[in-house]
Amino acid sequence: MTEQELDLRLRSALLQTARAEYARPLPGEEASPAASPALRRRLRPLLADPFGRRRRLHLRAARSAAAVFLAAVLTAGAVLAVSPEARAWVRSIFVEVLAEYSTIRFVRDPGGQTGELGTWAPAWLPEGYALLDAQTDPYHSLLTYGTAQGSQIYFECTNSPGAAFHVDNEHHEAMDVPINGCSGYLLQAVVPGHHSSLIWYDQASGTAFSLLAELPPEDLIRIAESVAPR
Amino acid sequence: MLICLALLDDPSLEEEFRRFYQQTVSLALRTARRYLDRSLAEDAVQESFVAAARHFSMLMDRTEEQRRCYLLVTVRNRSIDLLRREGRYTGLEEDEPLPGGLSGEQAVQAAAGYDELVRVILSMPPTYREVLERRLVLEQSPEETAAAMRLTQAAVNARFSRGRKLLRETLLKEGIIP
């Protein structure tokens, strides 16, 4: 048996082992957990274009978006030079810019304690929106608001160490926006039919927030500024 | 590379990937939840499907079952990556079982009906198995494996070599290879 044949056999055994270990639920384990609305939303761009075929067809547009994003990053760099708050923001987040989306990960102080998240919600919403769904656990909350016409606002917050938000960056213009003294990051949709995202981090409570909606930036900012513990 | 791009330009492959997602997302979530809380488990699942999409043309020459198992290995290792990033993997590097892994008794039960090789893999030190999975299943380079596991390349090579030797001896003992 050659080394290559041995490795192929070992690979099969490793795959078979994974099946033995994970294919059946353990006692007390949920047999078929469903993806949360947040995960489904995050995976939507991947499922719409899993291999970047449409993206390659629109390469020029993607390059323009990347240039806009780079300009925003450079602007943020200039802010960093003079703003202690902005430096603290950068210490707290890790931004991974991929071709289709960016991952914004929040890094808490390693010595810090993670308490209960509490109940956060916006006190102001545009007319016609009502709460449709609330999913909460001690470290994560997702509230979905909607109108009778089907428009939706997703409000998510978490104080989980290493938490991350994934945002589409192909059809957006990025800019820094302060939210009640906290550093925030707005990805404003520049293509019709795409949602805008607003992400901000409250260092005092160690809580990261995200708003996603097809709304003008001034409405998103107003909703964000109204967010408070209930 | 050109062949891969041509394959990925085939819209029917996109449908195949969506079908793969629908069939495996619950299993992937259940696997990640053995290691992580719900929020991080969903991160691990998302990143695993992104990785699966990247390698999907390569996976097309495997059976559906092999693709499913490939995803399980990806989710398992991505979950371990996130545990490491959070500093919750300390002290589990050599002999202790992973938080989401099976106990010795459960492993024997899970391996029932499979060959001795599966039993050995289930009982070997977690980092040996992880190195073997990353190198042989996920086809990561020694450099990528070392970076993901926060080890030196020498340590990765040593664990790969020891793990491989252990499994080769099992194959010899069982008479599977001469």
Are B73 and B106 within one domain? no
Are B107 and B162 within one domain? yes
Are B53 and B37 within one domain? yes
Q: Is B161 on the interface with A (CB under 8 A)?
A: no
Q: How many domains does chain B have?
A: 2
All structural domains of chain A: 37-229 (3.30.200.100)
Are B69 and B103 within one domain? no
Is-contact A201 A183, C-beta < 8 A? yes
Domain assignment present for residue B35? The answer is yes
Residues A13, B118: C-beta atoms closer than 8 Å: yes
- pLDDT number for residue A110: 53
Are B67 and B29 within one domain? yes
Domain assignment present for residue B54? The answer is yes
Domain assignment present for residue B2? The answer is no
Nearest to B73 among A15, A24, A36 (CB): A15
Query: Which residues 104-143 on chain B approach chain A with CB closer than 8 angstroms?
Result: 106-107, 110-111, 114-115, 117-118, 121-122, 129, 132-133, 136-137
What one-character-per-residue DSSP string does A75-144 give?
A: HHHHHHHH-HHHHHHHHHEEEEE-SSEEEEEE---TT--------EEES---TT-EEEEEEEETTEEEEE
Domain endpoint, select from B45, B64, B90:
B90
Residue A21: pLDDT over 70: yes
Are B171 and B104 within one domain? yes
- pLDDT number for residue B158: 92
Are B51 and B107 within one domain? no
Residues B17, A36: C-beta atoms closer than 8 Å: no
B8 compared with A54, residue with greater pLDDT: A54
Are B64 and B105 within one domain? no
Most confidently modeled of A88-92, A108-112, A115-119, B57-61? B57-61
Residue A80: pLDDT over 70: no
For residue B101, give the CATH number of its domain. 1.10.10.10
B122 closest CA partner among B170, B75, B154, B68: B170
Residues B31, A22: C-beta atoms closer than 8 Å: yes
Domain assignment present for residue B4? The answer is no
Are B84 and B30 within one domain? yes
Domain assignment present for residue B6? The answer is no
Q: How many CB pairs under 8 A join A and B?
A: 157
Domain assignment present for residue B5? The answer is no
Are B103 and B38 within one domain? no
- pLDDT number for residue B25: 95
Are B51 and B128 within one domain? no
User: Which residues in A139-152 are b (16+ Cβ under 10 Å) and which e?
Assistant: bbbbbbbbeeeeeb
d(CA B106, CA A140): 32
Largest CA distance in chain A: 72
Query: Which residues 51-70 on chain B approach chain A with CB closer than 8 angstroms?
Result: 53, 56-57, 65-66, 68-70
- Note the pTM of the prediction, 2 decimals: 0.55
Is-contact B142 B155, C-beta < 8 A? no
Domain assignment present for residue B11? The answer is no
Residue A64: pLDDT over 80: no
- pLDDT number for residue A99: 61
Nearest to B86 among A10, A24, A162 (CB): A162
Tokens of A108: 């808490």
Of the residues A22, A207, A209, the best mutation for testing chain B's interface (the one with the most B CB atoms within 10 Å of its CB) is: A22
What range defines the domain where residue B146 resides?
97-178
Are B85 and B124 within one domain? no
Q: Which residues of chain B have pLDDT under 50?
A: 1-7, 91-114
**Least confidently predicted of A91-105, A118-132, A183-197:** A91-105
d(CA B121, CA B60): 26
Residue A220: pLDDT over 90: yes
Tokens of A26: 């353990």
Count the neighbouring beta carbons within 10 Å of the beta carbon of residue A21.
23
Residue A70: pLDDT over 50: no
Domain endpoint, select from B90, B113, B128:
B90
Domain assignment present for residue B10? The answer is no
Instruction: Please give the residue of chain A at the shortest CA–CA distance from B7.
Output: A51
Q: Is B27 on the interface with A (CB under 8 A)?
A: yes
Q: What is the mean pLDDT of residues A5-9?
A: 86
Of the pLDDT bands very low, low, confident and very high (cuts 50, 70, 90), residue A176 is confident
Is-contact A95 A115, C-beta < 8 A? no
Domain endpoint, select from B90, B116, B135:
B90
Residue A25: pLDDT over 90: no
